Amino acid sequence: MIRRKTHFRFLLVTYAFASANFLYAAGPSLSKRCQALNEWMATNSEVSSDPDIIAPASVPLFEHYPYLIRHIPYLDIAKLPTPVKPLNSLGRELGHRNLYIKNDSTTGHLFGGNKIRKLCFLLGQAVYHKADYILTVGGAGSNHSTATIVLSSWSNVNIPCISFLSPQLPTAYTCRNLIISQQYGGELHPCTSSADRAQALLHKAAELQSRSKKVVYIPSGGSNALGSLGYVNAALELKKQIGAGEMPKPDYIFVAAGSNGTAAGLSLGLALAGLDTQVIPVITVPMTSEEFTADARQLIEEMCKLLQLSSIPENIIYPRYTTEYFGGEYARIPNITADALSLMHRTEGFKLDGTYAGKALNAFIDYAQAAAHKDKVLLFWNTFYTDKPRTSFGASDISKLPEEFHHYFTDPLQPGDLGL
């Protein structure tokens, strides 16, 4: 899930297969398993000035840095700001009076969750560069892949999206996302592993390029420098909500960490907002805290370059990662996470996933129960989109999916999966 091991300076990297028609939206390599792309790198190019897509000045990032409006394309496709509210019922259960949620389930008109914030920038760049196709990757139930397919089908984007998906444990949201992706015209390619996924993407990109098609690659989770600006913007949005009295300044923010852009973007954005808040990202993939920390530092450095900052802010508080709630396998729901999901649903009515948000919730609850944090303000940042498909579906819809995905609709769910 972590994006890269190499450092690229600029926002857009053009790879030469035979000509410069394969564009990597905002930065570095596909992953350490896809070094072929690095070898094919031909040129580096910065974001062009005076883009056709001009960001609304009301976006907090552009309020903070007005000079970026004409340098970073942005599509106004998110429903922002997302609400902040106290978790009073959960707080009474846990004996803590300062628990809050920032609910990014509501970011989208057709699909929500944390990926929408990133796609405002990433799809803005794809439209600006007049891409013919968008390629992306994820697990079979990838929220990022689904959000990219849905939003790229909009009339103001209208770029076909091809997604390469690797196996994962069955979840309720996997079925939902596969159906939505099919309904919105996504071209889905089942792959046997992450390595197979990378190779399949390369072959498809080469085939499209041979037909003189311009292809934009958006990485897993949308978590590169450009996409992660979505969460720099989110932190500045939170600062405005604090100023409006919607909640006090949080001491800790709890968020899931898969591709790392949300946590890294929040940490930089909080520093730029002047908030001395510690982000606690809960790792949900088989990576170490040290790997995530190194990746976040690199990503923050790249974002600072995009923002044209002379250096990383001195007041930055780097994320403090934890692997405690991972569960041993991607998308597995440990019993302790299942208990946290049940408690949140019973007290506040939220149904969350056990792959990402539920594990961040688990850490949030543990902190709330610790005596050392009873006087602290704790914010749970929900990144999961909770709704069901907006239209009904049946066997005929499932049959339109590649056969390799059909078993997700019959495999039993894990005991802790609350559904949608």
Angstrom distance (rounded) from CA 415 to CA 265: 33
Phi, psi of 216 (to 5 degrees): -110, 130
Q: Which of 223, 232, 379, 226 is nearest to 313 (CA)?
A: 232
Pairing status of strand 22-25 against strand 12-15: antiparallel
The Cα 58–Cα 134 span in angstroms is: 28
Q: What are phi and psi of 61, to 5 degrees?
A: -60, -40
Question: With DSSP H G I counted as helix, E B as strand and the rest as coil, what are the percentages for the chain, rounded to 5?
Answer: 40, 15, 45
For residue 29, indicate whether it is catalytic.
no
* Token reading at 206: 């080469």
Identify the active-site residue in 29, 142, 145, 166: 142
Nearest of 137, 135, 144, 136 to residue 173 by alpha carbon: 144
Q: Which of 280, 284, 289 is nearest to 319 (CA)?
A: 280
Catalytic residue numbers, as ranges: 142
